[in-house]
Amino acid sequence: MPCSLLATNDDSDTSTASSVTTEHSNMSWASFETTEESVISWQFDSSSDVRDLSAYSEAISHTNNSSNIFADVEALQDYMFVFYITLRNSVKQVDVYTMIKIQIIDSIYSQNDREKPYRLVNEIMKRERCFVLLDGLDEWTGSGDHHNLPTLVSVYKQTVMLIATRPWKSAEGKVKHSDIEAVLQLEGINDPLELSSIILGHLVAKAELEIKHSAFRRYIWNQKLGKLISSPIMLSVIVCSYSEGIEFKGSKCEIYIPLLESLFKKANSNT
């Protein structure tokens, strides 16, 4: 089964990436619908002037290469099932199927009802094209033996694994080139304003979203935060803080303060 390694830069959180395939499954009942991407501009409201689009282009210039942009639906429609696993919650486990059982199935079904879903997932991974995203190799220790990467038995030959990590983990040299088929680097968000609208939609009432997002775009422009919002983690902090009434002035140090505070609040005695 193919395995790819995705390296994220220091300011990025893992979003999405894919090994592109062209083979399609016979499961005709499963499908994806796509819509044409909307055009995002710096026009705040009907009374304001259209802002210079160069500000937005500058924010994403390093990722705005059409050959390098990942189109989520186009890539993922080749797969019938997608499994997302956080490796920090399975630091001592090596087998990917076991991680899927514990993190996904066990969180849905009670202990007495898990055997049938276990068998079903096993058959699905044998017969259908599946995509497994393993997030956070830099937070994973493994079992302490010779395994430097999570493993998946060869019977799941139609399953593709993508392992996300910070660059320092891959730079250690413990992962052999023979263990992976491709190395990708995640540079940033292609359309940060669209993503900011999605995040904000989970934080404010639907009736207020358009007004709030218009004000947010004005805030980004006035505070010159355009260069920062191409980073997933920076964008998330800026949007969440803005929804709580906290506005930044463009300092990275200032933005990292609530991020670190939130991480410290989650700290506990567990490894």
Give the count of alpha carbons within 13 A of 117, CB side only.
16
pLDDT over 70 percentage in the chain: 74
More confident residue, 13 or 103: 103
User: Which region among 16-30, 151-165, 192-206 has the lowest average model confidence (pLDDT)?
Assistant: 16-30
pLDDT at 271: 64
pLDDT tens digits for range 240-257: 999 999 898 878 888 888
| Contact status, residue 79 vs residue 130, Cβ threshold 8 Å | yes
Averaged pLDDT for residues 7-26: 42
- Between CA 202 and CA 190 the distance in angstroms is 20
Could you list the beta-strand ranges (E) of the chain: 3-8, 81-86, 130-135, 159-165, 182-186
- Between CA 170 and CA 140 the distance in angstroms is 12
pLDDT at 188: 82
pLDDT at 20: 29
| Contact status, residue 134 vs residue 150, Cβ threshold 8 Å | yes
Residue 271 tokens, joined: 């490894």
From the number of C-beta atoms within 10 Å of its C-beta (0-12, 13-18, 19+), residue 15 rates as middle
Q: State yes or no: pLDDT of 157 exceeds 80.
A: yes
Q: State yes or no: pLDDT of 132 exceeds 60.
A: yes
Q: State yes or no: pLDDT of 50 exceeds 90.
A: no
- Distance between terminal CA atoms of the chain? 31
pLDDT tens digits for range 138-155: 999 887 777 889 999 999
- Between CA 167 and CA 176 the distance in angstroms is 15
More confident residue, 108 or 188: 108
- Between CA 49 and CA 55 the distance in angstroms is 14
- Between CA 116 and CA 126 the distance in angstroms is 16
Taking the whole predicted model, whether its pTM rises above 0.75 is answered as no
Residue 6 tokens, joined: 């995705």
**Predicted confidence band at 268 (pLDDT cuts at 50, 70, 90)?**
confident
pLDDT at 30: 32
Among 43-57, 71-85, 145-159, name the most confident range. 145-159
- Between CA 87 and CA 141 the distance in angstroms is 9
